[in-house]
Amino acid sequence: MAESAPRRPHRTKRVTMTAIAREAGVSQPTVSLVLSGRAAEFRIQAETARRVWATAQRLGYHLRSRKKRMRAAASTMLRGPALHTAPAAVGTIFIEYKSLAGDILYSPALMGLSRAATGLVEVRQFGGMGIDGLEEFTRGNEALKGCGGLMVVTHREHPAERLAPLDKLGIPWVLMNRDPKHLRAPRVLMDTYGMAYGLMEDLLRKGHRRIAVLGTDRTIPSAVGQRQGYREALTAAGCYDPALEFLNLGSGNDAECKESVQLILARHPDVTALYSFFDLGAQGFYEGARAAGRRIPEDLSIVANGGQPVSQRVHPPLTTMRYPILEMGEAAFRLLERMWRGDPVPERTSLPGELLAGGSTAPAPQSAPANA
């Protein structure tokens, strides 16, 4: 009798963080932060952290050793000018506006930076210059003396070379929510891909297949991430339709959002859910839906990203993912601290959003509205 060939040892399929995120109903960066022991640092809710750990254990996930994790990440680490001691102050530069305080999106970043710096260093604000005035601002500015680091915020997209005057200061700096190629400074970003993907998975679980999106075709990281998250979630479910993408949103005010929602529902009456890149126009979304004869959420589910207060003032409150702007400000200061010590820092730090569950979603209707 011929000998049988020796059996190959069984190879266990590697469990990925993406698989854990899908099972736990969170984004992949959230899983990464929880499993690396940084849940408390980034204010991830204890219930969420426990769910992630339980899911990881159930799926058989094994943490790699610290040495292997550091070796895998080495190619994306940066070093800034080391000061080795904390400076007297840090600065915030808002290139397009005079102050962060009046900006509806980025003012929490200043709050986060200030909170992290409390009792350690002074926080100074600089602004009022356009990108063309950046070099003049950084050359011989007395107010910059004593500043050992900068958090830089800009609403617009600028290539790395336009931000090069900041490198000449010889101090560490961090760029917020922008990711130009070949930049020498670390960036703090929001995981809008995970936020969009998570919202789509929730709608898909509720039976929705005709999900329209209202957003922008701009190339800023937050918009790119949302487009990719929306498309990949629906493609994986076999229901992606490019005709349901409306990516020409401008200011996003209520009037524009109302008109856009009415247009979407007129062209595609079979749409049962709507996703928006930003929730500032929440009142407009609702007015547009109701003008088209749709009840929220019975006939039309609506979700968005942002977490602006207006999204919780509409009825029913909008289900939205809060942008982690406050946490991004805190993360920027922690990166500066590490660079002061001469420690390497990641090229990109991406933070997850926080789900604010409102009452704007429901299972997909079994039939189209009577007026559809």
User: How many C-beta neighbours within 10 Å does residue 220 have?
Assistant: 15
Residue 115 near residue 330 (C-beta atoms within 8 A): yes
| Degrees, nearest 5: CA angle 308-216-162 | 95
Q: What's the average pLDDT block by block, 10 residues per block, for the chain (372 residues)?
A: 46 68 79 75 75 84 48 49 70 74 72 90 82 83 84 88 90 92 92 92 94 91 91 94 92 89 96 94 94 96 92 93 92 92 89 90 80 51
Element at 345 (helix H, strand E): strand 345-346
| Distance of alpha carbon 362 from alpha carbon 203, whole angstroms | 8
Provide the pLDDT for residue 24.
Answer: 87
| Degrees, nearest 5: CA angle 33-323-335 | 50
Provide the pLDDT for residue 196.
Answer: 93
Number of residues in the chain: 372
Provide the pLDDT for residue 331.
Answer: 94
What domains are there in the chain, each with its CATH number? 17-63 (1.10.260.40), 89-189+325-352 (3.40.50.2300), 192-323 (3.40.50.2300)
Q: What is the pTM of this model?
A: 0.75
CA-CA-CA-CA torsion sign (323, 325, 327, 332): positive
| Degrees, nearest 5: CA angle 357-361-365 | 165
Q: What residues contact 161, with CB distance under 8 A and at least 6 apart? A: none
For residue 241, give the 3-state DSSP assignment: coil
